[in-house]
Amino acid sequence: MKIRSKLLIGSGILIALIILLSGLGIGNLNKANDNVEYLYEDRYRKLVKAYELRGEINNLSKRLTNIATVPSQANLLVNRREMDASYQAAVKALTELNESFTTEEERLIMQDMIEAGRPFIQYRDRIIQLVEAGKGDEARALRENEGLRLAD
């Protein structure tokens, strides 16, 4: 076999290896891109919604604390409007988060979150009823006892 033939065969094999390795590299890049897209579309968006929900729950808690510590009708009116807006935003975030769940484990976590929030809603309603009835001292006492326990 002539040197020319050997060089052509060697070059052909080298080019074939380069094409094969390039194809494998592109395939791995596509797989990595799919993984990053999954993380963004699935995990990151859920995390953003969870933080949004957490922020609205914190706003609700702050407003309720304002109502309980300064139990006047004027304060109730101002803070109740803000609470209603935060409540609507929290419900929206909760609904969007729930709709984005794809596994049973995620749905069970959501159920636990909803169940954990029920005592807070009952507490909120009692504080508002007490302030509306002019029982500010009872509202403050409820906050000092039950409210601080719920915050833990």
Range 70-90 average pLDDT: 90
For residue 2, is it left (φ>0), alpha (ψ between -120 and 50) or beta? beta
User: Is residue 143 very low, low, confident or very high in pLDDT (cuts 50, 70, 90)?
Assistant: confident
> pTM of this prediction?
0.70
User: Is residue 152 very low, low, confident or very high in pLDDT (cuts 50, 70, 90)?
Assistant: low
State the Cα–Cα distance between residues 97 and 128, nearest whole angstrom: 28
- Exposure class string for 113-150: b at 16+ Cβ within 10 A, else e: eeeeeeebeebbebbbebbeeeebebbbebbeeebeeb
Predicted pLDDT at 35: 84
State the Cα–Cα distance between residues 138 and 134, nearest whole angstrom: 9
SS3 assignment, position 97: helix
Average pLDDT value over all residues in the chain: 88
User: Is residue 136 very low, low, confident or very high in pLDDT (cuts 50, 70, 90)?
Assistant: confident
For residue 54, is it left (φ>0), alpha (ψ between -120 and 50) or beta? alpha
Range 30-56 average pLDDT: 87
Predicted pLDDT at 18: 93
Range 112-125 average pLDDT: 88
* The one-letter amino acid at 119: P
